[in-house]
Structure 1
Amino acid sequence: MIVLNQIKKIFNTNSGCVTAVDSVNLSIRKGEIFGIIGYSGAGKSTLIRMLNLLERPTEGTVTIDGKDLTQISSKELRLARQQIGMVFQHFNLLWSRTVFENIAFSLEIAGVKKEEIKPQVLELIQLVGLSGKEDNYPSQLSGGQKQRVGIARALANNPKVLLCDEATSALDPQTTDEILDLLVQINKKYNLTIVLITHEMHVIQKICHHVAIMESGRIVEQGDVLTVFSNPQHPVTERFVKQVASEDDSIETVEHLIKKFPKGKIVLLKYLKEKAEQPFITNVIRNYQVDINIIQGKVVQTQEGGYGSLYVQLTGLEIIPALNYLKEVGVEVEVIS
Structure 2
Amino acid sequence: MISLQKIAKTFQTKDGDVTAVDHVDLTVDEGEIFGIIGYSGAGKSTLIRLLNMLETPSSGDITVAGKNMTTLTKKELRKARQEIGMIFQHFNLLWSRTVEENIAFPLEIKGVSKGEKKKRVQELITLVGLEGRGGSYPAQLSGGQKQRVGIARALATNPKVLLCDEATSALDPKTTDSILDLLVDINKKLSLTIILITHEMHVIRKICHRVAVMENGQIVEEGPVLDVFRSPKEDMTKEFVKQVTEPEETEEAIAHLFKDDGIGHVLQLTFVGSDAKRSLITDVVRRFDISISILQGKISQTRDGSYGSLFVNVTGEKTVIEEAITYIKEQKVDVEVIHYV
Q: State TM-score, norm by structure 1.
A: 0.97
* Offset of residue 280 of structure 1: 2.3
Q: Distance in 2 between matches of 1:253 and 1:24?
A: 40
- Report the AA paired with residue 330 of structure 1: K
What is the alpha-carbon distance in structure 2 between the residues aligned to residue 307 and residue 2 of structure 1? 29
Three-state SS of the structure 2 residue aligned to 1:283 is helix
Paired with 2:278 and 2:133, the residues of 1 have a C-alpha distance of 50
8 A contact 1:97–1:137 mirrored in 2: yes
Residue aligning to 2:337: 335
Residue 305 of structure 2 corresponds to 305
SS across alignment from 2:170: coil
- CA drift at 1:218: 0.3
CA RMSD after TM alignment:
1.4
**Separation of aligned partners in 2, 1:226 and 1:130:** 33
Quote the residue 2:2 is aligned against.
Answer: 2
Match of 1:130 in 2: 130
Q: How many residues align?
A: 337
Residue 324 of structure 2 is matched in structure 1 by 322
The amino acid that maps onto 1:142 is S
Give the match for residue 211 of structure 1.
211
- Amino acid of the structure 1 residue aligned with 2:324: A
TM-score by length of 2: 0.96
Question: 5+ unaligned residues in a row in structure 2: which ranges?
Answer: none
Equivalent residue of 1:135, what SS? Answer: coil
Instruction: Check conservation: 1:12, 1:18, Cα contact below 8 A.
Output: yes
Quote the offset at 1:144 in angstroms. Answer: 0.6
Name the counterpart of 1:48: 48
Deviations 1:97-152, CA, capped at 9 Å, x for gaps: 00000000110101111111001101100111111101101111111110000000
SS at match of 2:328: helix
Q: 1:250 to 1:219 in 2, by over 3 A?
A: farther
Query: In 1, are the aligned partners of 2:250 and 2:296 still within 8 Å (CA)?
Result: no
Distance 1:80 1:264, change over 3 A: same
Q: Post-superposition shift, 1:260?
A: 5.7
Equivalent residue of 1:336, what SS?
strand
Matching residue of 1:89: 89
Q: Give the match's secondary structure for 2:196.
A: strand
Distance 2:217 2:253 in 1: 32
Aligned-pair identity in percent equals 62
Of residues 124-133 and 245-254 in structure 1, the stretch that sits farther from structure 2 once superposed is 245-254
Deviation at 1:278, TM superposition (A): 3.6
5 Å matches for 1:121-270? 121-246=121-246, 252-259=252-259, 262-270=262-270
The answer as to whether partners of 1:261 and 1:313 remain within 8 angstroms in 2 is: no
2-structure distance, mates of 1:107, 1:262: 71
Distance 1:97 1:249 in 2: 47
Partner of residue 102, structure 2: 102
Shift of 1:257: 3.1
> Equivalent residue of 1:134, what SS?
coil
The offset of 1:262, in angstroms, is 4.1
| Unpaired runs of at least 5, structure 1 | none
**Matched-pair contact (CA < 8 Å) for 1:247–1:309:** no
Tell me the amino acid that sits aligned with residue 329 of structure 1.
Answer: Q
Q: Secondary structure at the match of 2:271?
A: strand
Q: Is the 8 A contact 1:7 1:61 kept in 2?
A: yes
For each residue in 1:170-193, what CA deviation from the matched residue of structure 2 results, as whole angstroms up to 9, or x when unmatched? 011110000000000000000100
1:165 is displaced (CA, Å) by 0.3
Assess, with a 3 A threshold, how the Cα gap between structure 1 residues 28 and 185 changes in structure 2: closer, same or farther: same
- Residue 253 (structure 1) shift: 4.5
CA apart distance, 1:296: 1.6
Q: List structure 1 segments (4+ residues) > 6 angstroms apart after TM superposition.
A: none
Q: Is the 8 A contact 1:221 1:234 kept in 2?
A: yes
